[in-house]
Structure 1
Amino acid sequence: VPFISYLSGLLKTQLLSDDLVAGVEIRCQEKGTCPAACHLCRQAGRETPSPTPVLLEVSRIVPLYSLVQDNVTKEAFKSAMMSSYWCAGKGDVIENWCRCDLTALGKDGLPNCSPLRRPVLRLAPHLEPSSTMVALEWVDVEPLIGYKVSDYVIQHKRVEDLSEAEIYTGEVLSLMDDLFSGLGSSCVVAGRRRGEHPHSMIYSLLFKCLEPDSLYKFTLYAVDSRGSRSDASFVTVRTSCPMVDDSKAEEIADKVYNLYNGYTSGKEQQTAYNTLMEISPPLLYRVQHHYNSHYEKFGDFVWRSEDELGPRKAHLILRRMDRISLFCRSLLRSGFIQSRTESVPYMLCRSDGTRPGGTLWHSSLHETRLACLEKVVTVQRNIYGKSKLR
């Protein structure tokens, strides 16, 4: 008897049915034909060979424990599956948290059957770092079942060398106590929004008062309701070069040339010295660039400054440009520098209430009621090029 006929007979006699096991059915369909040389595929009086049966094809996704028919076994299987998935097999799922076994303790003596995951800090894609601003974000690491994240802690500091010793930790801010409460610095703004998935949250930070052309290190870790800390996540970023008003730089270069030109009185010398000491180092570097571009045939900027102001005052002026990085110096030698202003939206969130003072906070950040507004920040950037942009 062909196998397909055997299965059909079973179905007719109710020995097999579609609801025998939830989520599993038996279907027979054509999956190609046998080679013509195969004599076993041919049946007497039939030209077409029998279709090849497809067994146990899943028609819908269901938990594995629902495939078990015995109620006691099903509950035991369900409990084991939930423990394995949410509690690392070292505890039981109670509502939406893990009750750890007595042996499931970490090095710090705290329960660790639901280990706290490391949040991944990253640059926010909507805002490219500017000379004074950096935007960061991360996806919330609190699971549906398990530990509860009560806070995130962010550290940021300006570093000169990444290999230097970690002695100075920089400024340390609590997302809840400092930023969402509004008690922290106005230079750091925190926000929260929904992620791509229904239960995911994305937290964001906007640092608005950074130093241009500086290397910053940002560190983030999560704190759960048991007092455990996650492993830290790091982002290191250099802010862009300082803003420069190129038209002003050209005007100052012309002014200094006129003061240096011909016989220079003491008053004119002091005016030139004061002008060059009052402007920022990047603008001073740009003034030197314009001066040499237009008037180098009368002597370059360094030589004329030493000649008119004297070596001591000229040195005081010129050494200010030593603070500029080699990268920014190369950009400041561009043919043209133009400024561009753009408006970038960001989220600002504030908590409705405050945490009780002097007590441990055991709730989840998800339970914190936040009032969030979308605001707009103005960001200025320099555009460097060989020719002016239209």
Structure 2
Amino acid sequence: MSTHKFATQALHAGHTVQDNKGTRAVPIYQSTSYVFNDSKHAADLFSLATPGFIYTRLNNPTNDILEQRLAALEGGIGAVVTASGTSAIATTLLTLLRSGDHIIASNSLYGGTFNLLNVTLRRLGIETTFVEASDPQNFGTAIQENTRAVFVESLGNPKLDVLDIEAISKQAKAYKIPLIVDNTVATPYLLNPIKYGANLVIHSLTKYVCGNGTSLGGAIIDAGTFDWTNGKFPEFTEPSPGYHGLVYSDALGEAAFIAKIRVEGLRDFGAALSPYNAFQIIQGLETLEVRIKKHSENALALAQWLQQHEEVAWVQYPGLECNKYKSLADKYLPHGQSGIVTFGLKGGYAAAKVVADTTQVFSLLANIGDTKSLIIHPASTTHQQLSDVDQLKAGVSKDLIRLSVGLESLQDLIDDLEHAFAAIRKPEFV
């Protein structure tokens, strides 16, 4: 399938009709476990001498098809799916790092990811330095002797800063450190970070890949390009006490990381994706190209309309001609800039909450990437656990409203926001 275009791979990669009883649709293999041919077959599976299925916490035929498809679309050598996007990040970092290690991360991260790095991992002895990502040199400056990962979002949520992944990857490569890119908002249709030097790519499949707000899921895709034998990662070059002395780099070469995250990460942390959710996510993935084009088209048009509105103080969307990230968007996101728009109101914090409470087509909830349009006020919800200083670093001002622009009629979305803006002009609010 490697010679086919994105839309074809999104529909077919990983699924062989002949190997799945002639099914045209991907089947749901709703089973916890799998029968071995005999004791030798079982032993070979557990020793990784032969491929196959053991237990759904580790792998599953439906999940396997989704993993192959995601790896094909992102240009990786393999993938592992997990129960959520957050579990994908946590399992990746806990597989890769140990107490005493250090991470460098962009300061413009989703609030949940920021807290994982800033609070939870610190309790485990893993420190994070957050840097202003607009200057790639900041990543190199923050490198320490114990730095073992660089973590960024390709398109920050909700700051919507487009990062210069290629320049950041050069900084990480110079110090022999893997670059991990969360590509959730951009999606593999709009951007493939591996092409620009990323070593690992993460997705919350819950968002645009699934696309309809029904199923949680996460994914880790391995580019197969990082040298785990460079002396900084003994977990890959020394016998693993957690897997009968296996030396991952010797046994699995370029696939050492993606194998370890499956046979130890999933085994020990248990963040398995259910086969039913994998099936649901596959349905969404099959139409991703069509949907993300429309999301991007609607978002750009709505951002342009918001720019002209008298109640609006500012608008952030990378596709706007006046946007500070437009040149980077032209390089990394030439086919669209996804469906997230943020803006601030002249009426500030109070006005933003009134608008979020008043829309009818836009649903007030904590998610993005749905076919239906969504709205939220991050300062009082998704980022409320951050200090005022950390909120501003993440791009969250008190007046900020985040829109996840769906696939509805553009005019209906405009009318809905106009109705909500009228509410802040009422005498009781003014």
Q: TM-score range by the shorter chain?
A: under 0.3
Q: Which has the higher helix share?
A: 2
Q: Which has the higher strand share?
A: 1
Rg larger for: 1
